[in-house]
Amino acid sequence: MHQPAELLRTRCRFAYVPGPGHRRSFTATEAGSTFECKLDGGAFGACTSPQNYSALAAGAHTFQVRAVDPAGNTDPTPATFGWTIDTTAPDTTLTATPPAVTNSTSASFSFTATEAGSTFECKRDGAAFGACTSPQNYSALAAGAHTFQVRAIDRAGNIDPTPATFSWTIDTALDTTPPAILLVSPTSSPTYSASDPRLTLSGSASDDVGVTQVTWTNSRGGGGSASGTTNWIADGILLRLGMNVLAVTARDAAGNTATTTLTVTLVIGFTDDPLTETTPIRVVHFVELRSAIDSARAAFGLPTFMWTDPTLVAGVTPVQALHLTELRTALDQAYQVAGRGPRPTYTDPTIVAGETIIKASHLIQLRAALLALLE
């Protein structure tokens, strides 16, 4: 009589020792049984316990073994064991360290490994590597130079051969306190609306040791040094149409910084905006253009234009061709100094007194050219 298949099921006890050889031991439920083994995609072949393999490739492997009783019945459900051979070392990365130079006698290090499930060993200065976890903290360190090393060890026992290393210096006399900076003018609020492209900022700064420098930048371009430190003024700031984020930074001698920002929106507004061909031309249109062009000229370092009829009075000053020509000349000079091109072109390039009719389109073009200069 043949035994029922279930009773023939192979009972295996696998012992796996990482190393060059891989050894499988197994036993069967029925005395006198023989065995057939199979590795990965190979065929079942006669084998005896223990079955040894060597020089296996890295990666996933599956071992199967089945018993065959003296009557020739084969275990229909082979015993199976899966395992992975990992010969690749993990790599270790430091994700947080102290500053390279600090006055803190404590230090904290965070780190990760390229392989999940890795453990870590840390080493500081001349000590030996010892098990550690992230973050690794140290306190009451001596002043001077220090070195920290950490290496990951994967689940197969491979050790990162190149530990992540960080060296730093503890200087207990070092100033690590940043300055404080305050914006006072034109506002202490975080936002400001301007109609003049020139802006001057001023404020104060303080530090436990001393403020050595105050600088500014504009997100739309430009930057420079402010004059003064504890009381500082940054002038000659050129605003562009729309939003400008101005950042003012105070520094101390140790390089600690503090920055305050002011978001300034530059809006140039005109009466009767937009002008149309049917809008009656008014003195205010000329007055506004003169003022806006003079502001732009000043922003680019030009003097105020010497206007004919410096004071235009509605109902009194007759509008002349010259007034229009001068607006064009004054704006053209600003384009030149700003290095902006191409220069604006106009309808009726030559305005002739007594001949050229001054039209809204002339003013529309001047407004557009002025705004383009400040873009």
Residues making contact with Ca ion (CB under 5 A): 86, 88, 91, 154, 158, 160, 162, 175, 177, 207-209, 252, 256
Q: How far is the CB of 212 from Ca ion (least distance, A)?
A: 10
The smaller minimum CB distance to Ca ion, of residues 83 and 346, is found at 83
The smaller minimum CB distance to Ca ion, of residues 8 and 89, is found at 89
* Residue of 176, 324, 300, 192 whose CA lies nearest to 237: 300
Yes or no: say if 262 and 218 are a contact pair by the CB < 8 Å rule: no
* Segment holding 285, helix H or strand E: helix 283-299
Q: How far is the CB of 184 from Ca ion (least distance, A)?
A: 21
Q: How far is the CB of 16 from Ca ion (least distance, A)?
A: 17
Whose tokens are 């400008």? That residue is: 244
What is the length of the chain? 375
The smaller minimum CB distance to Ca ion, of residues 257 and 325, is found at 257
Residues linked to residue 82 through DSSP beta bridges, in sequence order: 62
Q: How far is the CB of 149 from Ca ion (least distance, A)?
A: 10
CA distance linking residue 108 with residue 123, whole number of Å? 13
Q: How far is the CB of 176 from Ca ion (least distance, A)?
A: 7
The smaller minimum CB distance to Ca ion, of residues 3 and 162, is found at 162
The smaller minimum CB distance to Ca ion, of residues 28 and 153, is found at 153
Yes or no: say if 283 and 313 are a contact pair by the CB < 8 Å rule: yes
Q: Is 192 helix (H, G, I), strand (E, B) or coil?
A: strand
Yes or no: say if 94 and 122 are a contact pair by the CB < 8 Å rule: no
The smaller minimum CB distance to Ca ion, of residues 153 and 238, is found at 153
- As given in the structure block, the two tokens for residue 326 are 């001068």
Q: How far is the CB of 160 from Ca ion (least distance, A)?
A: 4
* Residue of 200, 182, 187 whose CA lies nearest to 258: 182
